[in-house]
């Protein structure tokens, strides 16, 4: 499918975390309440860390089996379809092999309520547990993966689907069950010690309640809300730093570590990481900008893409905004800008010429463009390595979308990834050691497409190739990481996730 583009200090990490902690926060984060379900001897608890956005849950609940449950449950009432997701782990070795943590959907807070739960046991057993009716016997469907660190529970109608993985892996085979719990349910996280005389503790991070796109959403005309998230590449803990009911896309991280630059509704915004406030950038005459915008290596310039009433055109504009200077030629076809050479002399872009999409380069001052790829099918997302020797890009030439590399002159084109997914938009870390990219599932998305609102992974791999590791499991796609988003120290990335449900525990955009 042809590529469719949509219009729409020096701060330290400590400073950014401190800023996050002063936001208006709930004592239980995104949850409305925290409850002992059942008859625990000792009261359970939840502690929400507003800086890390993590939850610590304690429970002395005796069991969650047979006809009733005894757990501590942090919950929120939700209607309609949703996706629950978290990374979680117990603290300490524990006492009981069948102590449990997980995600839960309940019809009520009564101990005998019907429910569907994504559960990880102390001995590693990972299963979809459920009670189909009040006071009914609990049933279980075991997953192939054991000792899961990340779990997901999704509702579509009356169907509940559980996915799970160990940190770094893609989700394994899922399990499903049909249960009529009603439209308005309690959803959240829980802990059960499996021994009423023992209190167990689990920590939950990357907790998300996502309202996905409705089945009748009109693509590229209707949009969900957006979260801007900052991911620590070492811990894989992600913090939501900003939300908007609008579509925000493609955050760049500025080289001075002060800001992110993203696009929304055709305008580019500079998001201050100290104040968590965005400011619109002047890019006149480029007024209908899409999500292909890249910062030069020296941090002084942006190359941007604008399709104001016609095919996308490449421009260069000062980093703080100003008069945009056109660099790609009119009448040639669409141009989507993706990268600068380290010396600032060249721009690389995806160009549509005669109904073919290939990688081109052009002098940053303007001039004659040069075609670097010529294989039938889509070649996209070109980006220089920090040493200027190579350009990484994604190509569908092998059947699925995969990551490729070539020398800066277009020679020695070599496939870097070769797996059973569709991999897009390789971004090289500033230290030149790693590549981060987004992965779409081939059973959801055609190889040549990168739409909004899908289950996606953000993965990382060594610069020269090797095993790819998942660092983020999310609902997103188009606009998540279309452009380079590494922090200057190569320790964090910024990305966008999507949901139709925004919680007032993060600063909300007015734009």
Per-residue pLDDT, 13: 36
Give 384's contacts (C-beta < 8 A, 6+ positions apart). 339, 340, 341, 342, 346, 348, 390, 391, 408, 428
Each residue of 106-121: pLDDT tens digit?
999 999 999 999 999 9
pLDDT surpassing 70 at residue 511: no
Q: What pLDDT sits at residue 16? A: 37
pLDDT tens for 162-213 read 999 999 999 999 999 999 999 999 999 999 999 999 999 999 999 999 999 9
Distance CA 126, CA 165 (A): 10
Q: Choose among 116, 32, 27: nearest CA to 74.
A: 32
Beta bridge partners of 473: 457
Within this chain, do residues 222 and 205 fall inside the same structural domain, yes or no?
no
* CA atoms of 70 and 254, how far apart (whole Å): 49
The answer to whether 211 and 451 are in contact (CB under 8 A) is no
High-pLDDT (> 70) share of the chain, %: 93
pLDDT band at 26 (very low <50, low <70, confident <90, very high): low
What's the mean pLDDT in 228-235? 98
Question: Partners of 106 in the beta sheet?
Answer: 115, 186
Q: For position 58, which CATH number holds?
A: 2.60.120.200
Domain contains 63: yes
In this structure, of 17-31, 195-209, 213-227, 337-351, the range with the lowest mean pLDDT score is 17-31
Residue ending a domain, choose from 156, 183, 210: 210
Can you give the pTM of this predicted structure? 0.93
Query: Where does the pLDDT of residue 23 fall: very low under 50, low under 70, confident under 90, or very high at 90 and above?
Result: very low
Structure tokens at 8: 């729409």
Q: Is residue 386 within a helix (H) or strand (E), and if so which, with residue range?
A: none
- Domain shared by 186 and 226, yes or no: no
Instruction: Please give, one letter per residue, the 3-state secondary structure of 48-92.
Output: EECCCCEEEEEECCCCEECCEECEEEEEEEEECCEEEEEEEEECC
Asked whether residue 342 falls in the same domain as residue 419, the answer is: yes
Q: Which domain holds residue 471?
A: 13-18+212-499
Residue 91 predicted with pLDDT over 80 = yes
3-state secondary structure 194-211: CCCCCCEEEEEEEEEEEC
Q: Average pLDDT, stretch 481-509?
A: 89
Over residues 405-423, the pLDDT tens digits come to 999 999 999 999 999 999 9
* 390 lies in the same domain as 248: yes
Q: What percent of the chain has pLDDT over 90?
A: 90
pLDDT given for residue 510 in this prediction: 56
In CATH, what number is assigned to the domain containing residue 361?
2.120.10.30
DSSP E strands: which ranges in 319-378?
325-326, 335-340, 346-353, 356-363, 370-371
The yes-or-no verdict on residue 502 having pLDDT over 90 is no
192 found inside a domain: yes
Model pLDDT, residue 11: 33
Same domain, residue pair 79 and 133: yes
| Judgement on whether residues 206 and 216 belong to the same structural domain of the protein | no
How confident is residue 501, by pLDDT bands cut at 50, 70 and 90?
confident
């Amino acid at each position: 499918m042809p590529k469719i583009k949509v219009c729409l200090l020096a701060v330290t990490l400590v400073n950014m975390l401190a800023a996050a902690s002063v936001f208006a926060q709930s004592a239980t984060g995104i949850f409305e309440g925290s409850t002992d379900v059942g008859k625990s001897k000792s009261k359970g608890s939840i502690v929400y860390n507003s800086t890390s956005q993590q939850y610590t849950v304690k429970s002395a609940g005796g069991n969650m089996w047979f006809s009733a449950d005894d757990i501590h449950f942090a919950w929120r009432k939700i209607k309609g379809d949703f996706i629950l997701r978290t990374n979680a782990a117990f603290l300490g070795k524990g006492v009981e092999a069948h102590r449990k943590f997980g995600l839960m959907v309940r019809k009520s807070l009564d101990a005998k309520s019907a429910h569907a739960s994504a559960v990880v046991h102390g001995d590693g057993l990972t299963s979809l547990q459920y009670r189909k009716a009040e006071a009914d016997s609990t049933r279980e469907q075991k997953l192939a993966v054991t000792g899961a660190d990340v779990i997901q529970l999704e509702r579509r109608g009356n169907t509940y689907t559980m996915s799970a993985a160990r940190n770094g892996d893609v989700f394994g085979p899922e399990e499903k069950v049909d249960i009529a719990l009603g439209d308005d349910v309690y959803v959240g996280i829980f802990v059960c010690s499996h021994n009423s005389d023992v209190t167990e503790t689990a920590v939950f991070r990357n907790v998300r309640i996502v309202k996905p796109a409705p089945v009748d959403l009109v693509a590229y005309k209707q949009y969900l809300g957006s979260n801007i998230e900052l991911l620590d590449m070492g811990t894989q803990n992600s913090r939501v730093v900003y939300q908007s009911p609008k579509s925000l896309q493609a955050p760049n991280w500025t080289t001075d570590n002060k800001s992110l630059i993203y696009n929304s509704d055709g305008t580019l915004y500079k998001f201050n990481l100290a104040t968590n406030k965005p400011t619109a950038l002047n890019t006149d005459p480029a007024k209908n900008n899409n999500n292909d915008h890249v910062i030069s290596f020296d941090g002084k310039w942006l190359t941007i893409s604008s399709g104001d009433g016609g095919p996308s055109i490449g421009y260069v504009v000062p980093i703080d905004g100003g008069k945009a200077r056109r660099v790609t030629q009119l009448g040639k076809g669409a141009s989507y800008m993706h990268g600068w050479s380290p010396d600032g002399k060249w721009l690389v872009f995806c160009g549509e010429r005669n109904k073919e999409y290939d990688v081109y380069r052009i002098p940053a001052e303007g001039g004659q463009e040069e075609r670097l790829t010529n294989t039938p099918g889509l070649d996209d997302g070109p980006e220089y390595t920090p040493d200027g020797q190579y350009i990484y890009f994604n190509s569908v030439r092998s059947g699925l979308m995969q990551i490729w590399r070539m020398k800066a002159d277009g020679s020695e084109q070599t496939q870097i990834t070769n797996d059973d997914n569709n991999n897009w938009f390789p971004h090289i870390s500033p230290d030149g050691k790693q590549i981060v990219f987004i992965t779409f599932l081939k059973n959801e998305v055609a190889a040549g497409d990168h739409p909004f609102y899908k289950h996606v992974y953000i993965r990382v791999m060594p610069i020269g190739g090797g095993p790819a590791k998942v660092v983020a499991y999310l609902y997103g796609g188009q606009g998540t990481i279309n452009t380079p988003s590494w922090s200057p120290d190569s320790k964090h990335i910024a990305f966008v996730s999507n949901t139709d449900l925004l919680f007032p525990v993060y600063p909300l955009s007015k734009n």
